[in-house]
Amino acid sequence: MKDPKELKPDTLSLHAGQRPDPVTGARATPIYQTSSFVFDSSEEAAGVFNAERTGHVYSRITNPTNSVLEERISALEGGIGAIATSSGQAAMHLAISTILDSGNHIVASNCLYGGSHNLLEYTLPRFGIKTTFVDFRDTDAFKKSFNKNTRLVFGETLGNPGLDVMDIKTISNISHDKGIPLLVDSTFTTPHLIKPFDLGADLIFHSATKFLSGHGVVIGGLLVDSGNFNWDESGKFPQLSEPYKGFHNMIFTQEYGPAAFISRARKEGARDFGACMSPHTAFLVLQGIETLGLRMDRHVSTTLKVVEYLNNNDLVKEVVYPALPSHPDHKLAKKLLPKGCGAVFTFEVQGGRKAGKVFIENLNIFSHLANVGDAKSLVIHPASTTHHRMDEASLKKAGISEGTIRLSVGLEDSDDLINDLEMAFKAVKKTL
């Protein structure tokens, strides 16, 4: 295959990282459902284990099916390498644990997926890693949130569920001035809608469970390295610039250059934490990525019709979607997301939590479940489910009220979805 830089995204979605199987001629990527791999000789075994030659040892670390997926997402994002993990949460944890130690500090957006917020707010402090949450729109507050122990900045391309649009270029410039990398969760947008590396992000992760696979049948994550951050120059990451006793005193920046981060993440994190993706899952994610562009365009076009309907509904207090002029990040969204603002958004129904309960329970096409990015349309009440661990103040900062409802618009006919919403609103109206 040509250099990925010479090919367009829709072509990369189908071909990056894979050729027809040389043994059988199979066009589809084979599922290498094996735990381990045979060596031709003792010399080969020693060489692979010592990273002196390429090859697969154990599927916890690398697997040929997973490798195709890793190369594909790396090509789509414009990175230099990727690791497939057991979930999006695992990908996030792998990124953090590779470069942070006890006593280190993270600056994060206050508009985050509930699971990410919980990891940062409650779990990581047990291991000596603390986080300051800040409104990324407030540049002065963001600058002041750094301290001498800060080692990472983290945010989402589109905040979940408040749909804050991250000004990646501004945030990355400030972070880089302080010698700190920017990690971005791009799950809601995928590389079809935005390329965070082009805007200055250093690391990206995805919950491959969502739009990348697109059919709600797998749990998986992907961590991607841009190769652009200078770990040596920063002087704050001995994990990469000093000898690592866990791998023959290797200095990763010397051995792997721009790929220092992703190499340590695999040789330490994939090896020691073990949160690997199964080859079958990788195969299914690959099938989803093949139609990513087509699906995302359909998701966006249908979402716009649903948003328009809700925005003109008297029982709706507010619709939060960056494509609307009323959204505080509308101008930024037009600049950063010209192909659309995704398929996930929130609205506030009149009548608070009680009305929200009635609304959700009277939907028939929308499925009430804790996921987004499915081919089927989904609905949930964040305050009582996905973000229930957050206190009232944190919920408010994240843009979540008692009446907030989150929709993930699927690939159904827009008229059918609007009719489904209309029937639910009729039920709500009876309670007011």
Per-residue model confidence as pLDDT tens digits over 272-287: 999 999 999 999 999 9
pTM beyond 0.85: the answer is: yes
d(CA 155, CA 166): 7
Extract the tokens encoding 341.
Answer: 């603002």
d(CA 422, CA 364): 11
Q: Are residue 75 and residue 157 in the same domain, yes or no?
A: yes
Give the pLDDT score at 391: 66
The three-point CA angle 220-225-226 to 5° equals 135
For the chain, state the CA radius of gyration.
Answer: 22
Q: Are residue 255 and residue 211 in the same domain, yes or no?
A: yes
Give the pLDDT score at 399: 67
Q: Are residue 135 and residue 255 in the same domain, yes or no?
A: yes
Report the run of H or E that residue 140 belongs to, with start and end. Answer: helix 139-144
Q: Are residue 145 and residue 242 in the same domain, yes or no?
A: yes
Task: Choose one of 250, 265, 289: the last residue of a domain.
Answer: 289
Determine how β-strand 81-85 pairs with β-strand 105-109: unpaired
Strands (E), 142-246: 150-156, 182-185, 203-207, 221-225
d(CA 25, CA 23): 6
Q: Are residue 209 and residue 309 in the same domain, yes or no?
A: no
Q: Are residue 348 and residue 310 in the same domain, yes or no?
A: yes
Q: Are residue 283 and residue 303 in the same domain, yes or no?
A: no
Domains held by the chain: number: 2
DSSP per-residue string spanning 257-303: GGGHHHHHIIIIIIHHH--BPPHHHHHHHHHHHHTHHHHHHHHHHHH
Residues in the chain: 432
Alpha-carbon separation of residue 390 from 134, 351, 396 (angstroms): 15, 22, 10
Stretches where the chain sits below pLDDT 70 are 1-2, 385-392, 394-399
Give the pLDDT score at 254: 97
Residues in a beta bridge with 316: 349
Name the one residue in this structure whose structure tokens are 């130690």.
101
Q: Are residue 27 and residue 165 in the same domain, yes or no?
A: yes
Q: Are residue 234 and residue 255 in the same domain, yes or no?
A: yes
299 phi, psi to nearest 5 deg = -55, -50
Residue 244 is classified by DSSP as B
CB 258 within 8 A of CB 113: no
Report the run of H or E that residue 220 belongs to, with start and end. Answer: none
d(CA 28, CA 243): 41
Determine how β-strand 378-380 pairs with β-strand 404-408: antiparallel
Task: Choose one of 245, 272, 289: the last residue of a domain.
Answer: 289
Give the domain CATH number at 54: 3.40.640.10
The whole domain housing 143 covers: 4-289
Give the pLDDT score at 346: 93
d(CA 73, CA 190): 10
Give the domain CATH number at 409: 3.90.1150.10
Strands (E), 128-172: 130-134, 150-156
SS (H, E, C) 291-348: CHHHHHHHHHHHHHHHHHHHHCCCCEEEEECCCCCCCCCHHHHHHHCCCCCCCEEEEE
Q: Are residue 421 and residue 342 in the same domain, yes or no?
A: yes
Q: Are residue 393 and residue 310 in the same domain, yes or no?
A: yes
CB 100 within 8 A of CB 236: no
Report the run of H or E that residue 88 belongs to, with start and end. Answer: helix 88-99
Task: Choose one of 239, 265, 289: the last residue of a domain.
Answer: 289
Q: Are residue 280 and residue 302 in the same domain, yes or no?
A: no
Alpha-carbon separation of residue 172 from 79, 166, 432 (angstroms): 16, 10, 47
Give the pLDDT score at 5: 76
Query: Residue 258, preceding bond cis, omega within 30 degrees?
Result: no
